Structure 1
Amino acid sequence: MKHKNYRRVVTGHDANGTAIIESDQLATQMLERPNRPGVRLTNFWLTHETPAQYDGPTETCEGDFILHPPANGSVFRCVEFLPEDPEVMAKLSSEDGAAAFAEMGAGANIVQGGRHPWMHRTDSVDYGIVMNGEIWMVMDNEEDDVLLKAGDVVVQRGTNHAWANRGTEPCTIMFILIDGVTETGKGKGIPAR
């Protein structure tokens, strides 16, 4: 099974204010890691402020690939999950998850001793749309785990979670992550358990 390459079209304005296509090419900021087999992340757009500047640079996905959205900003990305190999997963721990997430600047976001090696939490509000396939959203308690299928949406609000493709087909989720706080003016996140 192979990952997909995504065409990304970016609009803008010419000097006269006429709507134009500024960029039409394959998205180039991708991350695949040997220590997180079967997963590819592709960034399409990042904003660095709210409200977002809509007539700024044509390319925002430059530099290191970071899990979190920029401070006061957002990231639009796709994550493709190939089916997990149960034998490989049985050998992994949260230490393996921390090493994989460290490559995205988020090693401290792994939940040590979590129910899944990739159990993590981000200080963001994440909108996810399952485009194809199906995937389990693993929560702190097994009774809260939920199977998401194509067309389902999830609003992930800074909670511990992991994604587990236990099926036989790839699963693709489109995400928009927005930088967040626990309460307005109260700082970032809640302590990991």
Structure 2
Amino acid sequence: MADQNQTTPEKTLPVVHRYITTHDESGNATFNTGVGEEIEFERSPLGADMFMSYSGNALPAPLAHDADLDTYKGHLVKKPESFMIPKGFVSRYIDYHPGAAPLWHRTITLDFGVVIEGEIQLELESGEKRILKKGDVAVQRATNHAWSNPSKTEFARVFYVALDATAPVVNGEELAESLGVVSHK
């Protein structure tokens, strides 16, 4: 976590809008007006701001009668209890504050993380590290990892899509979910 005595630099990342499509009575594609386009990030005490841009509780997603939209609207009102939704998917933006400490975690998911702004460090439990730059993607398979923003002055933004997965098996044992260990390295 960033030093409590330090002032966080002003967040200058672009505003994000969410545009969701649907279909009219004739089957023509239209923009959905039931979910607002303006988004608000939620501040986390862990040095990151998050926004769930879409979610669902089934794959394939049930698009008939806008069932997936109803599920997402429900998730906006009552947030899912975990980073992931069982048997489903989540897409979210995370803005990492400058100098925020890594948060170690593993979700039993297949994740795609694309750096939108800034740079972000991905650290694995093996000790391996990579700095991802704007446009880079990380594909994670139930990976125990930590993200951190190496910059002391600039925010970093990453867009994630997480799909529910079956747990990997190592030496006959399924790997388990692990959430929320802050590293003070």
The answer as to 2:181 corresponding to 1:166 is no
Match of 2:39 in 1: 27
Partner amino acid for 2:112? Y
Superposed, 1:35-184 pairs within 5 Å as 35-37=45-47, 39-55=48-64, 56-57=66-67, 58=69, 60=72, 61-62=75-76, 63-84=78-99, 89=101, 116=102, 118-142=103-127, 144-167=128-151, 168-182=153-167
Q: RMSD of aligned C-alpha atoms?
A: 2.5
In the aligned structure 2, how far is the partner of 1:4 from the partner of 1:31? 16
Distance 1:181 1:16, change over 3 A: same
Give secondary structure in 1 for the equivalent of 2:104. coil
Partner amino acid for 1:174? F
Instruction: Spell out, residue by residue over 1:149-169, the C-alpha distance to the aligned partner (whole angstroms, 9 max, x if none).
Output: 111100011111111111132
Q: How many aligned positions are there?
A: 156
Give the Å deviation of 1:5. 4.0
Contact 1:79 1:172 in 2 (8 A): yes
In the aligned structure 2, how far is the partner of 1:120 from the partner of 1:183? 15
In the aligned structure 1, how far is the partner of 2:85 from the partner of 2:98? 30
Give the Å deviation of 1:6. 1.9
Give the Å deviation of 1:192. 6.8
Give the Å deviation of 1:36. 1.2
Instruction: Spell out, residue by residue over 1:122-152, the C-alpha distance to the aligned partner (whole angstroms, 9 max, x if none).
Output: 111100101111011011133x111111111
Unaligned runs of 5+ residues in structure 2 are 1-9, 179-185
In the aligned structure 1, how far is the partner of 2:143 from the partner of 2:51? 22
Q: Which runs of 4+ in 1 moved over 4 A?
A: none
Instruction: Spell out, residue by residue over 1:73-127, the C-alpha distance to the aligned partner (whole angstroms, 9 max, x if none).
Output: 1011111112116xxx5xxxxxxxxxxxxxxxxxxxxxxxxxx4x1111111100
Higher relative contact order (CA 8 A, sep 6+): 2
The answer as to 2:23 corresponding to 1:13 is yes
Match of 2:182 in 1: none
What TM-score, normalized to structure 1? 0.71
Match of 2:7 in 1: none
What TM-score, normalized to structure 2? 0.74
Give the Å deviation of 1:4. 5.1
**Percent of aligned pairs with the same amino acid:** 25
Partner amino acid for 2:139? V
Contact 2:142 2:168 in 1 (8 A): no
Give the Å deviation of 1:65. 4.6
